[in-house]
Amino acid sequence: MEKIGFIGLGIMGKPMAKNLIKAGHELVVFDTAEAPAEELVSFGAERGASAADVASKAGKVIITMLPDSKDVRDAVSGPKGILEGCRAGQTVIDMSSISPIVSRELEKELAGRGAEMIDAPVSGGQEKAEQGTLAIMAGGRDIVFEGVKDILACMGATVTLVGEIGAGQITKLVNQIIVGVNISAVAEGMAFARKAGADPRRVFEAIRKGLAGSQCLEDKAPRMFEGRYAPGFRVALHIKDLWNVLETSRAIKGSVPLSAQVIEMMIALANEGHEGLDHAALGLYYEKLNGVGLGEDKA
């Protein structure tokens, strides 16, 4: 197998890179933080000196998994970035969650060097990253996607080509809109139940198999009842994704009023020091708003 380049070894990138090694791939990795890079070296990877160095040492595939649009842009076209080390025939797979507008811009820059690009953001959080069962949504040319699909399958349970470059990021933003609005609706409904004098846990049991049932209800309502807000998916990251929703919406003259409302709730949580909690912490927002506790011990 050819050596894969991997740039970005954070909470998601590190387990994803490890799963590639477990699947038998050789890796050359880079991260600005020492500890995760050294951990991957001890796991069998080669350490690169920069994104450019990773690109020059990698075979046909270079993967990026970074926090936001600026980080990906810096890794691709900044000083000692991928563009300085890549060559014709390579494919950059950006698995970060960023603006689809930026993905399209970077694809053009890479094309100028004869390199291809796939945008392939993920859903599932740290737990599924560790398990290798992420949902991966990709954008790019069919022939390029087919050439890297097996690599992506080492990190995900489902790998779906949605459309041209940027379509993966659009799909991820749709996912984050629906998840954010859904969690806020769960929190609002459970707080309403408590305020009105009903036991939210019993309400949850009564409605979970009906039309109101959802994965968000199943996963997040119990967290709210128990005050169990360890991430999961952090509030700060969901804010970042919803900012990308708002920025993209403005660029296309779209309207996303529910997303705008949810991001305000999440910013309020962040301003109270809760940015590192799971996004189910919207339960805390509604507890404060209504002066109630969602768990039995808070009643």
Q: Which residues contact 64 (CB under 8 A, 6 or more apart)?
A: 7, 8, 72, 75, 76, 82, 92, 93, 94, 95, 96
Residue closest to 122 by CA, chosen among 267, 240, 16, 255? 16
Asked if 173 and 244 touch (Cβ cutoff 8 Å), the reply is: yes
Residue with tokens 């740290």: 126
The catalytic residue among 14, 18, 128, 172 is: 172
What are the residue ranges of helices labelled H in 44-166? 51-57, 69-77, 82-85, 100-111, 125-131, 142-153
Q: What is the DSSP letter of 3?
A: P
Residue closest to 49 by CA, chosen among 5, 99, 2? 5
Count how many Cα atoms sit within 13 Å of the Cα of residue 156 in the half-sphere of its side chain: 23
172 is catalytic: yes
Residue 259: both structure tokens together: 């997303």
By annotation, the residues acting in catalysis are: 172
